[in-house]
Structure 1
Amino acid sequence: MKLSFFIAGMATALFCHSSLAASEPEQETVQTKQPNVLVLMFDDMRFDTFSYRGGPVPTPNIDALANDGTRFDNAMTTTGLCSPSRAALFTGRWGHKTGLDDNVGLYHSRVDELNEDEGGVIRRAADTGYHVGYVGKWHLGPQGPALRGADFMWGKEHSQARHSRPYVPYEKQAKMAQYNRGERDENGEKHEYYQTLPGTYETSHTAENVHMGQKMLREAAKIDEPFFGVISFEQPHPPYRVPEPYASMFDPNIVELPGNHAVKRQFKPMAQDEDWWPWHDVGHMTDMDWRKSRTFYYGAIAMIDHAVGDIIKTAKEVGMYDDLTIIVLGDQGSMLGEHDLYDKGPYAYDELMRMPLIIRAPNIEPRIVNKQVSMLDIAPTISEMMSLEPDGDVDGRSLVNLMEQGDIADSGRVDQALYAYEWYNGGWFGIRALRTPEMKFVWNPGDNRDELYDLKNDPIEVNNLIKDKKYTKQLRHMVQLMEDELVRIKDPSVEKFRYQVAGYRSKEGKSQAYNVD
């Protein structure tokens, strides 16, 4: 029996629909063999702060999943921007194929939803007979999971009108003017960067997400259908706002800062100097402001770990945990002052490009995978696990072999990751970045300055080596790897790429077609 729920919290509307269909005994037998899968997704969550990675934040619940599952320690997002990375997650396709290569519903955005034809794993799971639930942030257009056949939904986006007006940050301009005049918010804080919220964890929006996720799990446990669910949190997206005890859990006076913290950018693309949102103006930030922003972020990670523990506890209570595949990931990272940058923007630094990824699957031995994998790989992985029907061209590749055999598996997988930043809220950049364990090459077609980083000797990406003749061989190799990948994914920018990088392949190291500044 199938019962479909739509639940929207706070001031959102409520509707429900149901369909009753008798299930044949043979069908029930087949369905019980299909795995239950739960995705725990976090917003702008970096890869480097968890205790299982040697980071500064104790995260015992996330650590437990990491210790019991497959750790992908070099997982890369496709785009350091919420909507395109989420579209890649659910479809396994690049934005030039889905049409979603920019944020939706925000100031200057060109698009306001992922095309309905892009059903992704949600529609495919629903069509396969899964009971599908979605709790929290979607950011691919209002009502998206409902349009794709989800049964249980909660969150303000899930009842908003489609094609509505975008969010425009008028009030933030005034706030930045206050900060630049030396003014502060309550408690001497800068609430566009860090804030101590009133109340406790239990009164937070994070806990509200947890409670609705728990409700989703309890409902799913009662239904004789396989389950696919997503609990998507808005934490730890900036500004970093947490209640006590998380707000004061870490001492800003002693917090360790990375070597690229607040360094002045030299020989970098001009786009990195622009304020794409009002809060990107960080000239008013003091050393203590940066330190507090970082410690409040750490507090948000600790609060997230609490949330994960609550969800795991419920999964155990309702009898789902032992047979439940759990995927933990962030949609991308975030800048905490590295390179004097905050939040995200049109660049490809590791702090933004890398993401955490853990897949805890029953009957698969725990291991650490060091090969680079992509956000694009998650949809084909879920598809293989859940035996979903294909829905067309997919750019990612299943991670199941790597989960079962580790780095020795999938010998044809080149240890590299491609990243793109096509648009940022209506501004075009066309950035492509190709990363190997040793090097990173960033093509900036809207600028006359590309980037090359030696990740072994300069992991914090301070020194742009694009003009260093000692790296000519490495540059040519990276250019060829990028071209090969652009061809593989049928990227429409490949012709422009060949023309603009011709100078890197010539013996003289330059070309009239493209002069590197």
Structure 2
Amino acid sequence: MSPTKSLNVVLVVMDTARMDEVQLRADRQTPFLSSLSDSGTVFKNATANAPWTLPSHASLFTGTTPSKHGAHAGHKHLDDSLTTLPEILQTHDYETVAVSNNTWISEEFGFGRGFETFFKTWQYVQADTDLGKIAQMENGLDMFKEAVKAVFDGNPITNISNAVYGQYFRRANDDGAARTNEWIKDWLTGRDDSRPFFLFVNYLEPHLEYRPPKAHTKQHLPEGITYGEAMEISQDAWGYIAGTVDLTDEDFEILRALYRAEISYLEEKIEALIHLLKSESEWDDTLFIVTGDHGENIGEHGLMDHQYALYDTLLHVPLYVHGGPFKDNDRTDLVQLIDIAPSILDTLDIDAPEVRNQFQGVSFHPDTEQSREYAVAEYMAPQPSMDALETKVGDLPDHVYEYDRSLKSIRTDRYKYIRGSDGSCELYDIQGDPGEQTNLAGTKLDIVERLDTMLDEWLNSFEQTERLEDVSMDDDTRSRLEDLGYLQ
């Protein structure tokens, strides 16, 4: 790095990326992963602090857990009581830019603070009025009335452009990764480079529903299954959980193939982003971080999507760090998404003592002497709620109501303990049983007691935020989230 130039920061989130699937590709030496692994640091035991997008990104941005930042299914907004990473960097003269493909990560839900530029790929023209809902309208006079009303709520030309784009073009080939890279290229090549930049990117491809390009799918499909046949498999997660949709082991094998193809396609786009940084002579001056906000259940534990549980299928995420002091190295110590913000500040040599007092994360900078004794995760409220699930699929089997609870987990190098608000508890030997199939809570009472005490001590170590009120959102946002499987 030039002695006169500050380090840029690029923080990439592979939305819904499981570590085991990403690592599977790393073992096959894919170009993207090889370029990061060979000259950067791979964290093999990185975990999210929540199993879904909103609370997990809030933890990433604030360095705090859901019970402290208060953004979760019971309060779907990141409030301004805590300082965010982009706000810190903005005060240190960084150009702060966000590109989001996930509706949760937008200004509407509190993620715009600190960003000079916030680009949402689901809008063709960036605007406050968002018309994706037009694509959901019924035919005939009702559609016409609603469309006219929506179009004239703001700039008519802009709104019509966004409606047409959302209905006919946005999801034609991918979930926004191609447009993301095109926009970043235009921004990067045209920016004033007198300041360093912080670029945050959320890529959505591995998220349900899986629609990978055919070229990336063939190598992953089971023998004898065509792309067309694979795309006919139901991806109705809530129907499966409620028992209205039946899926066989072969169906799940096909769905996992589609999921892997999505990751393969996304890796190609991230590799293109790296090449872009290199072509603009920014790569050597950039701290480049790739992680996942959470994972995915694809039939494991009787679940689909990424709700209702704190298993490692949802919490164990990839984390690759390249640049600055992060050299060729594999690390197996416990790290979490809340550790990323303090690690970035340490790398940039930014003090910010007041904000550091806010952090619950532990820096994983190579020169730090700190280490993490345990990792925690929280699922503050079910999402979707039982009422929303009933509205979607009708009557629910009795066992589904077991998911109507909050969950907290704590894990050490060997054991994970999960405690439910309904009095349930689970204990897994992560080393001997990485798939978390055998609940040891009834046989290893001493370990349950020790981890239960550690969890309580951690919860009592900070002031928790009690926010359980509904947060309003416009109809289009609600419709777009339902498209992503987030029932409200």
**TM-score with structure 2 length normalisation?**
0.73
Q: Which amino acid aligns with 2:458?
A: E
Structure of higher RCO (CA pairs closer than 8 Å, 6+ residues apart): 2
Aligned residue for 2:381?
Answer: 423
Aligned residue for 2:199?
Answer: 229
Aligned residue for 2:336?
Answer: 374
Aligned residue for 1:472?
Answer: 445
Instruction: Quote the offset at 1:131 in angstroms.
Output: 0.8
Name whichever of 209-218 and 278-287 sits farther off.
Answer: 278-287
The one-character-per-residue Cα deviations of 1:217-237 (angstroms, maximum 9, x if unpaired) are: 3234x4200111012101111
Instruction: Quote the offset at 1:250 in angstroms.
Output: 1.2
Aligned residue for 2:54?
Answer: 83
Q: Is the 8 A contact 2:40 2:321 kept in 1?
A: yes
Aligned residue for 1:95?
Answer: 66
Aligned residue for 1:399?
Answer: 364
Q: Is the 8 A contact 1:77 1:353 kept in 2?
A: yes
Q: Is the 8 A contact 1:41 1:233 kept in 2?
A: yes
Q: State yes or no: 1:453 paired with 2:437.
A: no
Gaps of 5+ in 1: 1-28, 103-109, 172-197, 256-274, 494-517
Q: State yes or no: 1:326 paired with 2:301.
A: no
1:443 to 419, 431, 434: 419
Q: Distance in 2 between matches of 1:38 and 1:485?
A: 31
Q: Which amino acid aligns with 1:130?
A: Y
Q: Distance in 2 between matches of 1:337 and 1:362?
A: 40
Identity %: 23
Gaps of 5+ in 2: 139-168, 226-235, 386-403, 467-488
Instruction: Quote the offset at 1:163 in angstroms.
Output: 12
Instruction: Quote the offset at 1:299 in angstroms.
Output: 0.6
Q: Distance in 2 between matches of 1:166 and 1:430?
A: 31
Q: Is the 8 A contact 2:98 2:115 kept in 1?
A: no
**TM-score with structure 1 length normalisation?**
0.69
Q: Is the 8 A contact 1:134 1:145 kept in 2?
A: no
Q: Distance in 1 between matches of 2:263 and 2:21?
A: 8
Instruction: Quote the offset at 1:325 in angstroms.
Output: 0.8
1:148 to 108, 114, 117: 114
* Pairing of 1:170-209 with structure 2 (within 5 A): 205-209=176-180
Name whichever of 417-426 and 381-390 sits farther off.
Answer: 381-390
Q: Which amino acid aligns with 1:251?
A: L
Name whichever of 357-366 and 228-237 sits farther off.
Answer: 357-366
The one-character-per-residue Cα deviations of 1:343-373 (angstroms, maximum 9, x if unpaired) are: 1112111111111001112344221111111
Aligned residue for 2:438?
Answer: 463
* 1:160–1:388 Cα change, 3 Å: farther
Instruction: Quote the offset at 1:487 in angstroms.
Output: 2.6
Q: Distance in 1 between matches of 2:133 and 2:452?
A: 38
Instruction: Quote the offset at 1:112 in angstroms.
Output: 4.2
Q: Does the residue aligned with 2:19 lie in a helix, a strand or coil?
A: coil
Q: Does the residue aligned with 2:264 lie in a helix, a strand or coil?
A: helix
* 1:162–1:340 Cα change, 3 Å: same
More helix by share: 2
Q: Distance in 2 between matches of 1:486 and 1:199?
A: 43
Instruction: Quote the offset at 1:393 in angstroms.
Output: 1.4
Q: Is the 8 A contact 1:85 1:331 kept in 2?
A: yes
Q: Distance in 1 between matches of 2:409 and 2:457?
A: 13
Q: Which amino acid aligns with 2:412?
A: T
Q: Is the 8 A contact 2:256 2:298 kept in 1?
A: yes
Q: Distance in 2 between matches of 1:351 and 1:131?
A: 35
Q: Which amino acid aligns with 2:342?
A: P
Q: Does the residue aligned with 1:429 lie in a helix, a strand or coil?
A: coil
- Cα RMSD for the two superposed structures: 3.5
Q: Is the 8 A contact 1:58 1:302 kept in 2?
A: no
* 1:467–1:52 Cα change, 3 Å: closer
Aligned residue for 2:182?
Answer: 211
2:214 to 229, 236, 244: 244
Q: Is the 8 A contact 2:101 2:175 kept in 1?
A: no
Q: Is the 8 A contact 1:50 1:58 kept in 2?
A: no
Instruction: Quote the offset at 1:319 in angstroms.
Output: 0.7
Q: Is the 8 A contact 2:121 2:179 kept in 1?
A: no
Q: Distance in 2 between matches of 1:462 and 1:170?
A: 44
Aligned residue for 2:11?
Answer: 39
Q: Does the residue aligned with 1:460 lie in a helix, a strand or coil?
A: coil
Instruction: Quote the offset at 1:491 in angstroms.
Output: 4.6
Instruction: Quote the offset at 1:147 in angstroms.
Output: 4.1
Instruction: Quote the offset at 1:209 in angstroms.
Output: 1.6
